[in-house]
Amino acid sequence: MSTNLALHKVGHHFRSAEEEFESAKLGTWLFLATEILLFGGLFCAYLVFRSMYPQAFAEASAHLNWKMGALNTLVLITSSFTMAWAVRLSQLGDKKKLILTLAITLICAGIFMVVKYFEYTHKIHEGTLWAGAFTAQGFSDPRVPTFFGLYFLMTGLHGLHVVIGMGLILWLIIKTGKNHFSPEYFTPVEMVGLYWHLVDLIWIFLFPLLYLISGVKL
């Protein structure tokens, strides 16, 4: 454990450090609730259009590469594990291992985005895009572009959250390097952890709904 801790000062309006931590935690959970409702709108649109055009969804979904989706699921679950570990390490004040676990989380997030990049460029190349930009040939159902519109909206918004998460994790690594955290004060690590688990959780719903609805061919 480091010797020159940069002491965190409790805000003047809190009566104790515990009250401050509890407030941050409740605030973060409320924020996560808003995130769920934000994505909820898209999930609701998915539900409506899938029930309107089930054939189109089946046909379009078969066109996605489920292996890439599965790889990304694995990568994100791994990152969630290392993030949870990082939170524990921050409580214990183990600086070296904290930086290591955060770095692994960051790398996993990076891998996720690289895989996503390959998927996106492939679709742009094929022209399997949203309705206004759809140029691909050979689909039988005219509503296939609706599926791809939702695919890009949902994975796009999720990808944006991954990128923001990467920024936050990088910030944690820098702060850890500067000895900002201690067993008495680890609030940001725990809060970013909560956020990261939500980002992971949303993907866990996106993966089957987008990639697996027409079955998988090995």
Partner 1 sequence: MSTSNINYLQEKKGLLSWLFTVDHKRIGLMYLGGVTLAFLLGGIFALLIRLELFSPGSQFVQPDRYNSLFTLHGVIMVFLFIIPAIPGALGNFILPIQLGASDVAFPKLNLTSFYLWFIGLCIALATLIMGNLDGGWTFYAPYTISGNKAVVWAVFAAFILGFSSILTGLNFVVTVHKLRAPGQSWFKLPLFIWALYATALVQVIATPVVGITLVLLIMENILKIGIFDPALGGDPVLFQHFFWFYSHPAVYIMILPAFGVISEIIPTFSRRNIFGYKIIAFSSVAIAVIGFLVWGHHMFVSGQSTVASTAFAFLTFLVGVPTAIKVFNWLATLYKGSIELKTPMLYALIFLFLFTIGGLTGITLGILSVDVHLHDTYFVVAHFHYVMMGGTVMGFLAGVHYWWPKMTGRMYSETWGKIGAFTVFAGFNLTFMPQFIMGTLGMPRRYNDYVPEYEIFHKLSSIGAGILGIGLFIALFYLIASLFNGKKAEQNPWGSKTLEWEEAASPPVTHNFTTQPVITHGPYEYGVEVKA
Q: Which residues bind partner 1 (CB under 8 A)?
A: 11-15, 19, 22-23, 26-27, 30-31, 33-35, 37-42, 44-45, 48-49, 52-53, 130-133, 142-143, 145-146, 149-150, 152-153
Helix (H) or strand (E) holding 66: helix 66-92
H helix and E strand count, the chain:
6, 0
Measured from the CB of residue 163, what is the shortest distance to partner 1 in angstroms? 16
Q: Rounded to 5 degrees, what angle do the CA atoms 128, 134, 136 make?
A: 55
Query: Which C-beta is closer to partner 1: that of 43 or that of 207?
Result: 43
Smallest distance, Å, CB 99 to partner 1?
Answer: 27
Instruction: Give CA–CA dist 125/165, Å, rounded.
Output: 28
Please state the φ and ψ torsions of residue 129, each to the nearest 5 degrees.
-120, -170
The residue (of 97 and 143) whose beta carbon lies closer to partner 1 is 143
| Closest distance to partner 1 from the beta carbon of 53 (Å) | 8
CB 176 within 8 Å of CB 95: yes
In terms of CB distance, is 27 or 183 closer to partner 1?
A: 27
The string of DSSP letters for 138-166 reads --S-TTHHHHHHHHHHHHHHHHHHHHHHH
Shortest distance, position 135 Cβ to partner 1, whole Å: 13
Q: Is 106 in contact with 170 (CB distance < 8 Å)?
A: yes
Contact 49, 57 (CB under 8 A): yes
DSSP letter assigned to residue 136: -
Least spacing, CB of residue 147 vs partner 1, in Å: 10
Q: In this complex, which beta carbon is closest to partner 1, that of residue 6 or of residue 26?
A: 26
Please identify, using beta-carbon distances, which residue of 143 and 180 lies nearer to partner 1. Answer: 143
